[in-house]
């Protein structure tokens, strides 16, 4: 038995998302989930239906930079159904963050669909800390686009990358 009580050897969980860009809310979920599971794979989705600000490689690299101090976190990317990705990684646990009740409806639908596709797949929901309950990548991009301050919303590495993307070197972003 592992620390989570599961019989499958070490517990490997996957935290999927677009992370465009990674926020302090994402980072909080990553740090907390890394304490629960033996290994946490943060998997960046390359969603062809979205037009991300950061390329897939940039998002992966930013995540690597901001999680370098968490030894049991691995950063990866995928372009397939989540259930297929989990199978390819020998995992069956998914971590999802919930900011508000409105997130729950969508996340429950996704978790139910994934479990329909793979009955062994389990989703673990982690609620955001209240100080991050309003925070989303979309909000961060909108603030940064108009050169507003994002210093308390994202890690320093992401703040610097946003400055470059939006062509400003002002310290207020």
CB 2 within 8 A of CB 36: no
Angle at CA of residue 26, ends 173 and 168, nearest 5°? 15
Q: Is 96 annotated as a binding residue?
A: yes
Residue 133 assigned as binding residue: yes
72 and 60 Cβ atoms separated by less than 8 Å: no
39 is in an annotated binding site: no
CA distance 41 to 72: 8
Residue 98 marked as a ligand binder: yes
Give catalytic residues, as residue numbers: 26, 50, 99, 137
Which of 6, 4, 75 lies closest to 37, judged by CA? Answer: 4
Residue 19 marked as a ligand binder: yes
Tell whether residue 85 is among the known ligand binding residues. Answer: no
The annotation status of 53 as a binding-site residue, yes or no, is no
The response to whether 106 counts as a known ligand-binding position is no
Which of 173, 147, 138 lies closest to 20 in space, CA to CA? 138
Number of Cα atoms under 13 Å in the Cβ half of residue 100? 7
Report whether 15 belongs to an annotated binding site.
Answer: no
DSSP-H helix ranges across 37-100: 56-66, 82-88
63 is in an annotated binding site: no
Please give the Cα distance from 70 to 57 (Å, whole number): 20
* Known binding-site residue numbers: 18-19, 26, 50, 82, 96-99, 107, 132-138
* Known binding-site residue numbers for substrate: 18, 50, 82, 96
* Known binding-site residue numbers for ATP: 18-19, 26, 97-99, 107, 132-138
């Amino acid at each position: 038995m592992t620390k989570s009580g599961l019989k499958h050897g070490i517990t490997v969980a996957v935290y999927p998302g677009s992370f465009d860009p990674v926020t302090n809310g994402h980072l909080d979920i990553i740090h907390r989930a890394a304490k629960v599971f033996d290994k946490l794979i943060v998997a960046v989705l390359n969603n062809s239906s979205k037009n991300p600000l950061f390329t897939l490689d940039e998002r992966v690299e930013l995540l690597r930079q901001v999680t370098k101090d968490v030894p049991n976190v691995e950063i990866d990317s995928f372009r397939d159904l989540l259930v297929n990705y989990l199978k390819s990684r020998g995992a069956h646990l998914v971590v999802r963050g919930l900011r508000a009740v409105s997130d729950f409806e969508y996340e429950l639908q996704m978790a139910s669909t994934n479990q329909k596709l793979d009955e062994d797949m389990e989703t673990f929901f982690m609620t955001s800390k209240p100080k991050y309950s309003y925070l989303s990548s979309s909000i961060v991009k909108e603030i940064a686009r108009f050169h507003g301050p994002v210093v308390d919303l994202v890690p320093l590495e992401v703040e610097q990358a946003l400055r470059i993307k939006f062509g400003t070197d002002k310290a207020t972003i």
